[in-house]
Amino acid sequence: MSTTSSTSNSSLATQDTVRFQEIVCSDQQSKIAVATLCNPKALNALTQNMLVLLNDQLDKWHDDDAVLCVILNGEGEKAFCAGGDVRTLHDKMKHAPIEDAKAYAEAFFGTEYQCDYLIHTYTKPIIAWGEGIVMGGGMGLFMGASHKVVTPDSRLAMPEIHIGLFPDVGATYFLNRLDDDIGLFLGLTGVMMNGTDALDVRLADHMNAPADKQKLLHQLQQTDWNSIEDSYDYLTEVLSELADNANIAKPATHLLPLIPDIQRACASDTLEEVFDNIQALPCNEKWMQAAQRNLMDGSPITAHICFRQLKQYHQLSLADCFRLELILGLRSVEFGEFQEGVRARLVDKDGLPNWTYAHISQVPKSVIDNLFTSLWREQEHPLAMLGHH
């Protein structure tokens, strides 16, 4: 990573890059690859530049027989990755002609989804070290990894309802693979989970101490890889052993005791019923109060998109999910709800988005139908090549 001198203007020091290392193992042949997201001032939010770099390097490592596994992590302790760089997208939507904004969004989302798809379909183990914040675009990278590690301070969410977008980065796929309707609740409320919650609903595989990361690297470097029959099983064992030795104090679960209530609330066939059921859930816990408030204050259009994603599209292949999300992403840029959400939450920070419709009951079905309508013929879709290797 390029370093800027301490005398430089602080705006020049904003780094949006990815640092790559290859650690040679003791056999002098095998390598452990490490990719570190380096945008710490923005909680490692993914810029277009970072996504291009990461995607290209993961491709190279995939083809390099000496690379045995990849460790994906974020700079600093605060965040693995807090999401995609939606502020730049907001500025394009606000100042550029709509066709330019859509072209930028197509390039940004297209690269992001290709990178996420590559991680999901990688044929080598990827350990995603989800320390700190793992949200939105960070979840996109995290969920495709073969070994998803959280720490006691991890906080995970798909919070798109706050900004008038929709659960993307493959969420149409991975939220639909959770136990019945849990994904719908997480998407509609954008609620923050801790590491224990993530393990409980199988959004994560391991909880490790932050200090285990260096121990993991050291152990993998010392491993005699010729004697390892299955690298996936071996990494699972190593992570489990490190966790046992670290004697971690796990944060208390919020989600597990509430799962039956959440599933009953979200089982209804209409969004209006699900909305009312969630608001009626017993809220003697701050966590549930936050979930209910998020849904109440969130974009009614996002709620409708999310409901349809998680009620009608659970049979879609991974590649088709990303193709659908690219359509939704560009339609959202056209529509304007997303621009207003980012303005209110991240740019002006007044926290008062002026949503197009005041309540979910006012959103016409035709508006949602249009958001799901492709901008391309099937073979012309920018992600037509996903899944056709």
Three-class DSSP category at 95: helix
Q: Which of 74, 83, 84, 195 is catalytic?
A: 84
Confirm whether 137 is a catalytic residue: yes
Q: Which of 74, 132, 137, 164 is catalytic?
A: 137
How distant, in Å, are the alpha carbons of 141, 210, 343 from that of 338? 22, 35, 9
Residues whose CB falls within 8 Å of the CB of residue 309, separated by 6 or more in sequence, listed in order = 166, 167, 171, 172, 175, 176, 187, 324
Count CA within 13 A, CB hemisphere, residue 325: 31
Q: Which of 112, 168, 200, 337 is catalytic?
A: 168
Phi-psi region at 66: left, alpha or beta (left = phi > 0; alpha = psi -120 to 50): alpha
First to last CA, the chain: 33
What token pair was written down for 141?
A: 């990278």
Beta bridge partners of 33: 22, 70
Q: Which of 16, 75, 160, 200 is catalytic?
A: 160
CA distance 124 to 78: 27
Strand ranges of the sheet holding 193-194, from the earlier edge strand across to the other edge: 79-81, 133-135, 155-157, 193-194
Confirm whether 380 is a catalytic residue: no
274 and 184 in contact (C-beta within 8 Å)? yes
For the chain, what's the residue count? 389
What token pair was written down for 47?
A: 């810029």
Phi-psi region at 48: left, alpha or beta (left = phi > 0; alpha = psi -120 to 50): alpha
Q: Which residues are catalytic?
A: 84, 137, 160, 168
